Amino acid sequence: MLHRPELHGTFGAVSSTHWLASAAGMEMFQRGGNAFDAATAAAFVIQVVEPHFNGPGGDVPIVVYDASSDSVEVICGQGPMPASAHIDHFRGLGLDAIPGSGLLPAVVPGAFGAWMRLLRDRGRLRVADVLAPAIGYAEQGFPLPARAAALIDAVAPLFRDHWTESGATYLVDGRAPTAGRRFRNPALAQTFRRLVAEADSASASREAQVDAAIHAFYQGFVAEAIDTFLSGTAVLDATGEHHRGLLTGEDLAAWQATVEAPASLEYRGYQVHKPGPWSQGPVFLQQLALLSGFDLKAMGFGTADHLHTVVESAKLAFADREAWYGDPDLADVPLDDLLDPAYSDLRRALIGPAASAELRPGSPGGRQPWIPPLPEHPLPSADPDWREQLGNSLPVVLQRTLGRSDTTCVTASDQQGNMVVATPSGGWLKSSPVVPGLGFPLGTRGQMAWLLDGHNNSLAPGKRPRTTLSPTIVRRDDGRPHMAFGTPGGDRQDQWTLNFLVNQVDFGMSPQEAAEALTFHTDHLPTSFTPRQMRPRAVTIEEGIAPETVTELARRGHQVELAPAMTLGRVCATGLDDDGGVFAAASQRGRQAYGIVR
């Protein structure tokens, strides 16, 4: 029995991790916009109403199917490390890892530039149109999510005593705001308004207005505010010390969002498209390549065979992620070899009847793998205080209830056949102090790079740290567009969305059924975030799994943990029906994700 209906329409579809964002996207359709306008407007609303999961200072990969060119492309909104970010600098501070919070891990904020590039190149509306809903919610307020209120409460002492601009932005009379009450961010509203004013005054041309907004952000008043703050302020970070950041206005001015071809793989008659190895996207494809050699349908959904096979495939794929992924512009990532069918055959043969307890990267093209040693850190306590929140890059107080859902998702499809999906993240309210005058903090994605020479994800100036962000677009075997989807979840994104696709392709579920179906993941893999932890053989499954399945998985050596029902992932999807209509699906997990169609 579905908790939410199957949503089908003929005009446009939007699905996102917050109902206000989905409504803003639908408003763009009503203004004459297309899927790209709808997704852009929804994304800016998400920045306002889910500040605990993303913000304007964060990053985003955007995967696009453009019906006019019949092509899939990726817009990279992952900003690089500053030009002065050298391993020796961090080593000179006595660090063996980049901290997960503060100013040291700040990278160029790529989200704004990526959304503006999508709007300029493929949209129909103006900057003022797509920013209007976000400005409205920042000025007039929105109901603060309970989890955002809980996180602000956990870090309130940090905001009061150290990150005072964050306190001015997120605290009310020195206290955390009340969940569900109207919350405003006037400084962010003013930033957006000024960007619109710069755009409107530049030209009558829509495209020139977008370029003016980009200039104002990366070379104008936004870049100036970031440069002034980071060059003149040392802030408390995860090390327990005060440090200045490395990011400068010149770093922002030198960057622009790029467009590139996706990584792709065929799976049982579908073409699956992901961002490249600067993200973890190809790990989704590697899992599919391994699973293509098994008959999952014959195993049956939710059986021990099904879960064991998927989990063991994930372990192998993510081990390769740890050994090989990185910015392909500055590292030799053997992606073709990793996706070669012969390599997948060799790797598949490693999947046996028992749970593996090892991290086993492969040797694509005969190369020797290397995973840097993981630092030893204590596990977070059951009731962390603000110091532990600061030391752990993700919201510790939310990890148990949301399964590390540190991200958001926006997707839209339209009657012309266009599809777009993105997983905006970074710039979390607890990751870095708010930049004075702007109303938002910076992203801390730099924490994902290694402070060791010789690895594909080693720190280097101007290099993109490998990100976990990983949206997906799927086309049918004849090339027709089918579906765009994603989920929050950090390292677990490409396990939860894998379940979503496998549920449809192998088990015959509809998109909404697949979004609601029982799900699972393994934490056998090292996390990408500070403090880089892993739990070998651990498998987490939502309650509702058959007891005999749990017993059999334990017999095979898996350490099974049951999570509360409907807590793993928040899948959002839109797409095109066989008869030319549109559809939307949204998981009820998290209670805020909603799809809308017309």
pLDDT, residue 395, reads 39
pLDDT, residue 588, reads 87
Residues 545-583: pLDDT tens digits?
999 999 999 999 999 999 999 999 999 999 999 888 999
pLDDT, residue 402, reads 36
**Three-class SS string for 169-204?**
HHCECCECCCCCCEECCHHHHHHHHHHHHHHHHHCC
pLDDT, residue 361, reads 98
* Interior/surface letters 150-182, b for 16+ CB within 10 angstroms, e for the rest: bbbbbbbebbeebbbbbbebbbeeeebbebeee
SS3 for 493? helix
Using alpha carbons, list the distances in angstroms from residue 407 to 182, 214, 492, 597: 22, 24, 11, 23
**Is the overall model pTM greater than 0.85, yes or no?**
yes
**Which parts of the chain have pLDDT scores under 70?**
375-405, 590
Backbone angles phi, psi at 326, to 5 degrees: 170, 180
pLDDT, residue 392, reads 55
H or E element, residue 584? strand 582-586
Pairing of strands 559-563, 538-542: parallel
pLDDT, residue 580, reads 87
pLDDT, residue 396, reads 38
